[in-house]
Amino acid sequence: MTAAIEVRDLRKRYEGVQALDGVSLTVPEGSFFGLLGPNGAGKTTFISILVGLVRKSGGTAEVFGYDVEDDYREARDAIGLAPQEFNVDRFFPIREVLEHKAGYHGIPADEARERADEVLKRVGIYEKRDTRFDWLSGGMKRRFVLARALITEPDLLILDEPTAGVDVQLRHDLWDLITELNDGGTTILLTTHYIEEAERLCDEVAILDSGRIVAVDSPEDLMDRGADRIEIQLRN
Ligand code: ATP
Give, to the nearest 10 degrees, the angle between helix 138-150 and helix 109-123: 140
> 154: Cβ below 6 Å to ligand 1?
no
Predicted TM-score (pTM) of the model is: 0.91
pLDDT (0 to 100) of residue 72: 94
- Quickly state the pLDDT bin for 227 (edges 50, 70, 90): low
Mutate which of 10, 44, 207 for ligand 1 pocket (most atoms within 8 A of beta carbon): 44
Per-residue pLDDT at 228: 52
In the chain the beta strands, taken as DSSP E runs, fall at 5-14, 17-27, 32-36, 58-63, 66-67, 79-82, 156-160, 187-192, 204-209, 212-217
pLDDT, mean of residues 4-15: 97
| Mean pLDDT of the region 135-154 | 93
pLDDT at 232 over 50: no
Q: What pLDDT is attached to residue 219?
A: 87
Q: 230 vs 35, which has greater pLDDT?
A: 35
The Cα–Cα gap between 86 and 84 comes to 6
Question: Complex ipTM, two decimals?
Answer: 0.96
**Ligand 1 centroid to 111 CA: how many Å?**
38
Mutate to test the pocket of ligand 1, among 11, 14, 193, 194 (most ligand atoms within 8 A of CB): 14
14 lines ligand 1 (CB under 6 A): yes
pLDDT for res 154: 96
